[in-house]
Chains A and B, each alone.
Chain A
Amino acid sequence: MSLVADPLLEQVHALAGAVPDPEIPVVTLSDLGILRSVTREHEQIVVTLTPTYTGCPATEVIRDDVQRALMQAGLHGVQVRLTLSPPWTTDWISIAGRAKLRDYGIAPPARAAQAQQAQVLQFVSREQWRAGAVPKQVDTPPADTLAKTEGPACPQCGAVQVECVSEYGSTPCKALYRCLKCREPFDYFKPY
């Protein structure tokens, strides 16, 4: 790709990036970080997307939505390609995307690099948990600047005293949690 700004590529990037996710329509493809690149290959414009989960049923819908958005803007013949590598991670969700998720009632994901360490589950009683005991598998928040806004915190009241109801929720990317303070259930976008 040339370093010189290409207005057409920028237009395609803006159009494709603004396409809403079919399952969580408050966030765009750009927010989710699944729009990988817009390039020109021998006069052919190529939009490259990356799927979230291997079995994500939204992947093909997303590809068609991008194609449709571009055609509605009069851009025909743009190729939309899917690439697996490098694999998508929730770390690519933008700051704006994370804020939108929270406002929508979905707790944004903790940093994937930390959360992916699979560990044997350790149980603590609810009384111990309220008293501050931390089971081993719960991530200690990362020490960087994002830490304040990360981890499964209740999107309604902001409490971090939450419990996992189910590792799997309404879509493959979400877990079901419950706030122990305001008692509201909420979705948690799992680090991936």
Chain B
Amino acid sequence: MNQSVSSPAASAQDVRAHPAHIEYVLRLGDSALILGQRLAEWCGHGPMLEEDIALTNVSLDLVGQARLLLAHAGQLEGLGRDEDALAFLRDEGHFRNWTIVELPHGDGRHDDYAFTIVRNLMVAALMVPWWTALAQSSDTTLAAIGGKSVKEAQAHLRHASQWTVRFGDGTVVSHARAQAALERLWPYANEWWQTDAIEQHAAQAGIGPLAADLRAAWDATLDAVLAEATLKRPATTGFISQGKAGQHSEHLGYVLAEMQSLARKHPGATW
């Protein structure tokens, strides 16, 4: 659903950013938003009170990051869409999040905490070097967001690492579930390492790094945590998901239905 609000004439926003620049920011913003929404699903359902609070706090950080990123994307776009319009009034084909963040927690029938934790580990291990690189972005707003968010990603990585070790090096059951979660999630990392024209433009313009260039740092973090957790690193497969290009799994629509229904039912409502 595109809003066609024209920006005021002769404003700075009339100088539209390069489409690839907007897409690059949208990918980061949408990925933070959808993972934040997924983690919020644990609110009131966490396996223990402390973890219920932990996940909602991580979710809050991610939604905070998403808000800043989507507000910035709206500014770059210059069509008068704010962060709420981008979050609540777009349909799934317009979302640019990586497929990994939209997957349900487990097999879709039973929520699996190991799946939530392993996904958080994989994402946070990427976001720490990503935000660190973005802190040097030629886009000063993105640099400010990066400098702020890296601290939060470090905390998310610490939390996910601790629980991955507990699960992997825990009981036979927790080990098996953590390993199974890792096997299911691993193929979705391929989407990050697949560079396309949008990322190439962003890297050349100094806007942000190629995810592929962060792979060595990601591998090192994952290998260290998996070794401590006595988990086995899965083999890399050929499957490449396409969420960042707007081609999503069957799961995103359900996430959006829950996230957007209230805002769409009461347009412009405030509290």
Main SS at interface, chain B: helix
Task: Evaluate contact between A85 and B64: CB separation under 8 angstroms.
Answer: no
Task: Evaluate contact between B128 and A121: CB separation under 8 angstroms.
Answer: no
Contacts of B154 in A (CB 8 A): 116, 118
Contacts of B166 in A (CB 8 A): 121
Contacts of B155 in A (CB 8 A): 167, 190, 192
Q: How far is the CA of A118 from the CA of B131 in the complex (A)?
A: 14
Q: How far is the CA of A51 from the CA of B64 in the complex (A)?
A: 11
Cβ-closest chain B residue relative to A169: B53
Q: How many residues of A contact B (CB 8 A)?
A: 32
Cβ-closest chain B residue relative to A176: B50
Contacts of A89 in B (CB 8 A): 151
Shortest CB-to-CB span from A165 to chain B, Å, is 7
Task: Evaluate contact between B147 and A86: CB separation under 8 angstroms.
Answer: yes
Q: How many residues of B contact A (CB 8 A)?
A: 36
Which one of A84, A120, A137, A168 lies within 8 Å of B148 (CB-CB)? A84
12 A-B residue pairs with Cβ-Cβ distance under 8 Å, sorted by A, are A53-B60, A54-B64, A55-B61, A55-B63, A83-B144, A88-B148, A116-B154, A120-B161, A120-B165, A121-B162, A168-B58, A172-B57
3 tightest A-B CB contacts, nearest first? A55-B64, A54-B64, A166-B50
Other A-B pairs, 16, CB within 8 Å; known A55-B67, A84-B145, A120-B224:
A51-B148, A53-B152, A54-B149, A55-B60, A55-B61, A55-B65, A86-B147, A116-B154, A119-B158, A119-B161, A121-B161, A121-B166, A121-B228, A168-B50, A168-B57, A169-B53
